[in-house]
Structure 1
Amino acid sequence: MAHLTIAERIIQELLRTRLPLDDDELARRLDVQPRQTINQACRRLEQSRRLRRYIGTHGKIVNELLGGTLPVAAMVEQEVLPEPPAGDSAAQRRAEGVMLGLLGERLGKTLRPRRFALPDGARVEVDGADDGVTLLVEAWAHQGPPKSAQKHKILADAMRLLFVASTLPVPPRLVLCLSDEEAARHFTIARSWAATALRTFDIHVEVVELPAELRNDILSAQQRQYR
């Protein structure tokens, strides 16, 4: 299971004490240095409406959880998944691994598959997340314009990202990573409700370019699939 983020630890401590705490006290209790790390995390939690910051009785700014913040028991467990073994995955999965690497280089992140275990026992996986879970990614290596069912698949991926993000204490950036401009058009510049919905929910579409050999493998796999 992955370690809790600083923001998650702050929420846990505030839930445990049930008292407003200032940044210095949180840094001391959580043994986090420098103190600015706590300050930045608390500001992000305030922006995401998980806590409020105000001047307390001793003249210092304190942090207090807002109603509706997930209790400790409801926080999702996270597990970094291993990469699929070489040769054991289809061309699509191999391509998606390359896409995550290319996107990670572009954004300055290391992206790995990650599984989230929910309080009710259900599990949900995303294709890629960084170590701090500030970025969630679903990848799709399809080449060419998507068919109707494939459009629904991408929208299901978007719903997955939104759902996982709703379980986290700090909202991450959400990205759909594609590898072909024609495949992305319906979700970016086309006059479609899907493109409008993605923009409305702040889900970004990033297109990376696959190596020619891998792109040809995808095209060959698609041709076999459509026979």
Structure 2
Amino acid sequence: MKGNLYIGLVAGLGVSVLVSSLYRVFGAGLEAGDLAWLGIAVLTLLVGRLSVKLPLPNCRVSFSDAFIFLSVMVFGGDLATLTAALDGFASSSRDKGTWHKKAFNTAGMALSVNLSARVFARLLPHGGLWGAHFSAVDLMVPVAALAFTQYVLNTALVSGVVALKEHQSLIAIWQDSSPWAGTAYLAGSVAAAIVFLVVRELGVVSSFAILPFPGILYLTYRACLDRLVRTKGGMPL
């Protein structure tokens, strides 16, 4: 019962965030440059198939985060919120999850990315990302805050529902999963920041250069996780 109430609360907050983002996107009017967002959104869904199972029941880390972070930087928080919601829904559909799980993942991703994008925007220097005097150094703190906020919010949301559904300790769940999730968010944010700096110079089409990063990260991350599990005497995930 508590788990369903928790899912309902997250779903309600997520829906309000999605409606707000859609209102602002259509209120501002769609531009030709927004078509590039569709390409990034499709790639996000495709790359979302690359995932590694965490030491939690039915929990995985997806490497679509790099594209979501890139959407925040290039297209802003509202379109990034839509990208995150699509990714959350697609990941649940691939796992043949229940409608509860689909609602939670869709709303949870929209909520965490929207709030993380707001933190990111607040820390940008005067003139924003596209200002004439913007440099790579100006991107370091906002990107670090973006990755950290997304990591904390998303991990907290998932840990909360697992704790309620599986009747486990919230602290134990966080300790088991958070280091691995943090590694994925950090790597994804760094990859996205590098590609964004290229986009500023060469245009949005160059953002497709991020495509190899999730694959390389997936292979490295999976190898490290399997090695750790074998070291502890468990079975590879």
- Alignment TM-score, normalising by the size of structure 2: 0.30
User: Which has the greater radius of gyration?
Assistant: 1
- Alignment TM-score, normalising by the size of structure 1: 0.31
Structure with the higher fraction of residues in strand conformation: 1
